[in-house]
Chain A
Amino acid sequence: MTPVLTAHVRRFAYDDVGPPAVRDVRLALEPGSLVAALGASGSGKSTLAKIVAGWALQGGHARFEGTLELAPGPDGPGGRLEFSGSRDDPRLRLGAWGQRVAYVPQRPGDLLTGAAASVGEELAFSLEQRGVERGAMRERVVRAARAVGLGELLERHPGRLSGGEQRRLALGCALVERPDVVVLDEPSASLDADGAEALAELVDGLRRDGAAVVMFAAAVDALVRRADRCLLLDGGTSAAEGTPDEVLASSAFAASGVASAGREATGPTDGPAAQAPGGQGSRPLAELDRVTFAYALARGHAARPVLDGACLTAGPGEVIALTGPNGAGKSTALRHFAGLARPLSGTVRIGGTDIAGVPAGRVAATVGTLFQDPRDQLFERTALREVSFGLAALGLARDAARARALEALDAVGLARQADVHPYELSSSEQRLVALATVLARRPTVLLLDEPTVGLDGRALGRLDAAVTDAARAGSAVVLSTHDHAWARRRAHRVLALERGRFAEA
């Protein structure tokens, strides 16, 4: 079958001086096929996704040598663009390209307009731009919303969606245009089990309709194993190609640092289950006691409690994993421990003390929080400054604070990036910097909101080590995750949050 999209990247660099981010890679996407491109952090995987999507060629700073060819289709004539890295290169018209080649970036929020007041409006944006009549538009919006499991949330403000729901919305925005090629960067990140299954069905549906799907991932998941072809990226170029089985069995894969559920991540292999937690008699470090909480909604809408008499106790040395569908309230529960959300009723105790009325900044002396989106917690000019922020308030002198920050960066393997701006790091590294900011504070209660998302094998190893070390040092670790296999391996207890309460999973 002739491919609908062919990309040949001879050399791609973000500017004139830097080394190429991607070189000598070919992708041929056939209608109805699924191609999985795997690569660890820094392998050029997200850059390749952006080249195929056309986003990397905007702005005129990048130097691209290679070709992009799109076969003619019902929505466009297609064509072949030849780039030589010079000023005279053809211009890729993203408006027309995007209509046929849809792209869901690694951070789903990047695809959203930021101007829509409802999920429906966000989904409709591209249809509005193409002048689709309202009746047909509503029908397509509703269909796309249902396909990604947001049929009930059409009126919800996009800013009020959970992390997983936002990813579903971005997927919906890509589908609503009925594209010929769908480019997905880390599509399974922060999706719950239902979401992952729905994603697999969605991809099957797209393929049945003749679309070519290409996904980029730093970890092997069920979707990768369903792919027709697999491409392994390492150091910006192709390291192995073939069926998923062939690539996963290759020596290049073993050396690539791509995370795989079947393979124990590098780092300590003794899970915390190997050690006994602090025993039943010891005083709990963190406790939710019959906590009820609901978000205030717009007028006229009754707020459904997210937490409804929820009880949870974490003792010294204990690792607890919270699971539950997108939007169940896992992040909300963690925010209560950090003092960032306050219960409508019930009590939150840290180290046995009720934290009602204690400012979150003081709670942070013993509680460390890794937020779901690392970029929400990165605000300094360099990674080192980022990790050093607030250490003085813990009573550390300048030199001691610097030493502590460097030590934390070293623990996550980013000592060499100490002077890099956090925004210039890959998303996997950003999460590690955010983790370092938490570790540097040596909290006795460690809260990790979906810490595994977007991590490659090496980063996962660092995370595992951090969790194990913290538990061993007597801290309580409470984390939320959709990765059940990882949760069972790393946690003493796995709790499911359903209808506002925790139950043993």
Chain B
Amino acid sequence: MWLAVLAASLGAAAAGRVLGKAVTAALVVVVPFALWALAIHGLFFPEGRTVLAAFGPARVTAEGLAYAGGIVLRTAALVVVMLAFSTWVEVPVLRAALVRRGVPAQLGYVLSTALGLASTVAERLERIREAQEARGLVVRQSLPGRIVAARLQVVPLVLQLVDEAGERAPALEARGQALPGRRTSYVDEPDSRAQRALRWVLAVASLAVVVSVMVPAVAGVLGGGR
């Protein structure tokens, strides 16, 4: 099932023309996690019986590998779903949709800035790097070179973001963000009958899945308690 979810989200990403971006971002998250999972569960799985190889206390077991593979697959599916969504979504439209459904404006703002944070951070990092390059920092194009350069940019980046957040608070307040009352939105939210129908189908399907799991479980607990 996780494979199906993964395939569906990759398909959706491809349809939304963000496949490359989403996959690149997902790899950054999933690959280190996979290495970690394989190291922990592939080598040290207490319940492992079928030993494939042993290095002192570490044993590679089939059960351990299967367990690690399962975790990685699940994580990969969830990560790809999230990243495909956040790279594809048009933040203003999302905010308009949230506002129309009565989500508090502040929450809508937080959501949209959180989704836009990656690009803000990237832009800031670039500006700081340029300032440092203009004063003689040579950034090598290799990965280690970039990491060394990034280390110099992290502290100023955090300081800038904190300072900016402090400056931004009164601006948002003065422009009415905390005012009570109804909100409207500048951006039109495109919607269609098919989309509305699909949303209902998905909602009902989710409910059905939950019910199909919960009802037997609850019945089992009650039955067992009797």
CA distance A115 to B112 in the complex (A): 6
CA distance A124 to B183 in the complex (A): 11
Q: Are B179 and A338 in contact (CB under 8 A)?
A: no
Nearest CB of chain A from residue B26's CB, rounded to whole Å? 22
Contacts of B128 in A (CB 8 A): 376, 379
Q: Are B179 and A130 in contact (CB under 8 A)?
A: yes
Chain B residue nearest to A130 (CB atoms) is B176
Known contacts A128-B185, A369-B134, A377-B134: A112-B171 contact under CB 8 Å: yes
Q: Are A159 and B136 in contact (CB under 8 A)?
A: no
Nearest CB of chain A from residue B103's CB, rounded to whole Å? 13
Q: By the criterion of a CB under 8 Å from any partner CB, how many residues of chain A are at the interface?
A: 66
Chain B at the A interface: SS class: helix
Contacts of A103 in B (CB 8 A): 174
Q: Are A58 and B170 in contact (CB under 8 A)?
A: yes
Q: Does A393 sit within 8 A of B, measured CB to CB?
A: yes
Q: Are A114 and B168 in contact (CB under 8 A)?
A: yes
Nearest CB of chain B from residue A223's CB, rounded to whole Å? 23
Contacts of B140 in A (CB 8 A): 359
Q: Are B186 and A124 in contact (CB under 8 A)?
A: yes
Q: Are A126 and B175 in contact (CB under 8 A)?
A: yes
Q: Does A113 sit within 8 A of B, measured CB to CB?
A: yes
Known contacts A124-B186, A361-B138: A98-B131 contact under CB 8 Å: no
Nearest CB of chain A from residue B172's CB, rounded to whole Å? 6
CB < 8 Å neighbour of B136 from A97, A111, A361, A380 = A361
Nearest CB of chain B from residue A286's CB, rounded to whole Å? 15
Chain B interface category by residue count:
35 or more
- Produce 1/0 per residue, B115-155, CB < 8 A to A: 01000100100011011111111111000000000000101
Q: Are A441 and B120 in contact (CB under 8 A)?
A: no
Contacts of A346 in B (CB 8 A): none
CA distance A113 to B91 in the complex (A): 13
Chain B residue nearest to A98 (CB atoms) is B174
Nearest CB of chain A from residue B67's CB, rounded to whole Å? 42
Known contacts A112-B171, A113-B109: A95-B177 contact under CB 8 Å: yes
19 new A-B contacts at CB < 8 Å, known A360-B134, A371-B134, A380-B156: A98-B174, A116-B92, A121-B186, A128-B183, A128-B186, A129-B177, A133-B184, A134-B184, A134-B185, A134-B186, A340-B133, A360-B139, A364-B136, A369-B134, A376-B127, A376-B130, A379-B153, A379-B160, A441-B135
Instruction: List residues of B whose CB falls within 8 A of some A CB.
Output: 90-92, 95, 99, 105, 109, 112-113, 116, 120, 123, 127-128, 130-140, 153, 155-156, 159-160, 163-164, 167-179, 181-188
- Give me the 8 closest cross-chain CB pairs, A-B, nearest first: A98-B174, A379-B156, A361-B138, A129-B176, A124-B186, A390-B135, A377-B131, A390-B136
